[in-house]
Chains A and B, each alone.
Chain A
Amino acid sequence: MVDKFIWNKVLLSAAIFGLVTACSSSYQVNGSTGLGKPITESQLQAWNIDVNGAGVGLPVGSGSVAAGGVVFQQQCASCHGSQGQGGIANRLVGGGGLNTASPIKTVGSYWPYATTIFDYTRRAMPHNAPQSLSNDQVYAVTAYILYLNQIVSKDSVMNAQTLPLVKMPNRDGFIPIER
């Protein structure tokens, strides 16, 4: 009887403190700690900038190759070269085959998804002012880089509908493994 009474008290206090399961060096809290606050998708919109390989997450907006050329010369050429190569930063254009002794990995020769150009440019470029371009400017620069690589035509316009349809030359160049 006494034992049962004590056990009930233990259970009661465990319930108050959130039902703690202990083992040698760690324990698990079963149930909520009550820490943190709920947040809505609209509240976190400014951070929710990821775009996946299928284009999910691409925002409203659009940009043409011609507009992209202007943005590229202003924002990108000083590091990447006026034609996307020959600059101090990563080469973006050309590169040729990858099955050589010295393969050249560029957007055109290596990147499997066109949507990744948009995602990366929007989050990390230009180098001295990341996340400063408008969505229209990022679409335009994406179009221009694709054009320099002869992947899209000069009159192309990139937006949430057209960009995911662009098939990159090295789309099938990856062996999926997980280890």
Chain B
Amino acid sequence: MSSKKDVSVRRSFLKKTLIAGSVVSGAVTSKIALAQNSESNFLVVDPWTKTQGSGFINPPYGLPSKYEKNVVRVLPNPVPTFPTGSRTPLQSLHGIITPNGLVFERHHAGIPDINPDQHRLVIHGMVDRPMIFSMEDIVRFPSESRIYFLECSGNSAAELKKATGKTAQEIHGLLSCCEWTGVRLSTILQECGVQSSAKWALAEGADGAAMTRSIPMSKMMDDALLVYAQNGEMLRAEQGYPLRLFLPGFEGNMSIKWLRRIKLGDAPWQTREETSAYTDLLPDGKAEQFTFAMDVKSVITQPSGMMKLKSKGFYEISGVAWSGNGKIRSVEVSSDGGKSWSQAILQEPVMDKSLVRFRFPWVWDGAPAVLMSRAVDATGDVQPSMDALLKAKGTNIFYHNNAIQPWRVAANGEITNGR
């Protein structure tokens, strides 16, 4: 008797959830109103159970379910004259890996259409042997696969001045995490014979911006990768196909996409992208140059902005944390706006310069609440509050906002940006 009732209740819940369009954790849904359906106490056999489904390779390259069509990248609203980036829907993702079609985009002159057979990488400057490599050459080198986050240093920039974004995607979506496959840059540089005078490298893209950044040789010889694949397949065009640089933990723009040239030298070049852009202006009018590493940061993605808690009771608070300086040591969660904090669970494996998923069980009592997460990395750096960050750096820095994100839960369950 009772077991039959349990099943029908569950059945009704499942139906509602399917109709709502996407399955999210617990009873959290977006603001889209639930369609009404007549609630039967008895299960019926569904029509899809009584027929053959569609065939194989339909389509040959698989796509997400049509019920997930709202899980997409977005541009800022309103769209600027010269858009600078699209954002990853963090609030709809699970675990730590960003699917390739949802990895945020940031480029400076559009996405070039490069035939990999025609792509070349040149390495020259302070080397004994200037060399040119085809893609065929590059994929023959010893390969390596690593899971690393990638974050634009302008992520969350607008929030420095005032609350601007509504969702985790709008505020923090210049952030993704993939398994990147390629060659250790040190391996290829070794082929060219690095001269002892080489202290910096210039990396240049083949795009219409011929995007350039100067990078310390210490980074190039440490964990820098020449990447040709992400999450098991060749790079997406917007991620630098067929070849990009990848500098783990550094500002995203430095991982030059469509990489065509590396030149070694003894000083930074002072390119536009490391002087007029990607430098951090302080209140006294002086600017910091160079701030390479992305500092420790975290954000709660579920529940988060523009979601609505439908009823009191159990919710799993979940989010991601990361640091360009190493592994995440711990994440704390607060539901009272930072008055008290509790340790969240970190999902293993916790990896160097990767996103880590944190989880925390929470029972909502129906009262207004403010949800926050605060990460600590292996170097002991603690994610700052917005007040502490602004006190230290002012509102003009634009880049490197790693402040704690508050989500305000109203008594009616609606969640908004608590900045």
Contact = CB atoms under 8 A, between A and B. Distances in A.
Interface of A: 25-29, 32-33, 35-41, 44, 47-53, 88-89, 97-99, 101, 103, 105, 107, 110-113, 115-116, 119-120, 123-124, 127, 130-131, 173-179
Interface in B144-164: 144
B93 interface: no
A51 to B, nearest CB: 8
Contact of A112 (B137, B184, B209, B270): B270
A164 to B, nearest CB: 11
Given A32-B191, A35-B133, A130 B271 contact: no
A124 B290 contact: no
List of 6 A-B pairs having minimum Cβ-Cβ separation, nearest first: A99-B285, A53-B270, A98-B285, A123-B210, A120-B272, A39-B132
Contacts of B202: 50
Nearest to A29: B142
- Interface size for chain B: under 10, 10 to 19, 20 to 34, or 35 or more residues? 35 or more
Contacts of A101: 395-396
Interface of B: 81-82, 108-109, 122, 124, 129-133, 137-138, 140-142, 144, 184, 187-188, 191, 202, 204, 208-210, 212, 216, 260-261, 263, 265, 267-272, 275-276, 279, 281-293, 395-396
A130 B138 CA distance: 28
Contacts of A99: 283-285
28 contacts: A33-B141, A33-B191, A35-B191, A37-B132, A37-B133, A39-B132, A47-B260, A50-B204, A52-B265, A52-B267, A53-B269, A89-B81, A98-B396, A99-B283, A101-B396, A110-B276, A111-B272, A111-B276, A116-B272, A116-B275, A119-B269, A120-B271, A120-B272, A123-B212, A124-B108, A131-B210, A174-B289, A179-B293
A123 B209 CA distance: 6
A35 B141 contact: yes
A156 B354 CA distance: 52
Contacts of A131: 210
Contact of A97 (B129, B269, B285): B285
Contacts of B129: 38
A96 to B, nearest CB: 10
Contact of B212 (A48, A50, A98, A103): A50
Contact of A178 (B109, B132, B292): B292
A175 B287 contact: yes
Contacts, number: 153
A177 B291 CA distance: 7
Contacts of A176: 289-290
Contacts of A120: 271-272
A124 B287 contact: no
B41 to A, nearest CB: 56
A55 to B, nearest CB: 11
Nearest to A168: B275
Nearest to A101: B395
Nearest to B292: A179
Contacts of A53: 267-270
B270 A52 contact: yes
A39 B285 contact: no
Contacts of B188: 36
B216 A178 contact: yes
B81 A88 contact: yes
A175 B141 CA distance: 40
Contacts of A177: 288-291
Contacts of B209: 123-124, 130
A170 B261 CA distance: 30
A107 B289 contact: no
A173 B267 contact: no
A115 B269 CA distance: 10
Contacts of B263: 48, 50
